[in-house]
């Protein structure tokens, strides 16, 4: 199990933001099953960025779980 901190910010409403990574997982690698648990999905911008980053590490599987609002 590992934890990370990531967020995105934009100075204009609806505009793509800049992703800031406070702490990224260093343990996710090839042939592992990764379950990303997200607390809030608003625009999906940050989640898409993180999903692409983790997918680039070629895990065995990659899934997202979130709590509906």
Catalytic residues: 42
Distance between CA 31 and CA 7 in Å, rounded? Answer: 27
Distance between CA 53 and CA 39 in Å, rounded? Answer: 18
Residues 6 or more apart whose CB falls under 8 angstroms from that of 65 comprise 35, 36, 37, 38
């Amino acid at each position: 199990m590992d934890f990370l901190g990531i967020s995105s910010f934009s100075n204009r409403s609806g505009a793509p933001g800049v992703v800031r990574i406070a702490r990224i997982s260093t343990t996710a690698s090839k042939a592992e099953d990764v379950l990303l648990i997200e607390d809030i999905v608003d625009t999906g911008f940050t989640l898409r960025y993180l999903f692409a980053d983790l997918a680039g590490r070629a895990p065995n599987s990659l899934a997202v779980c979130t709590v509906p609002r």
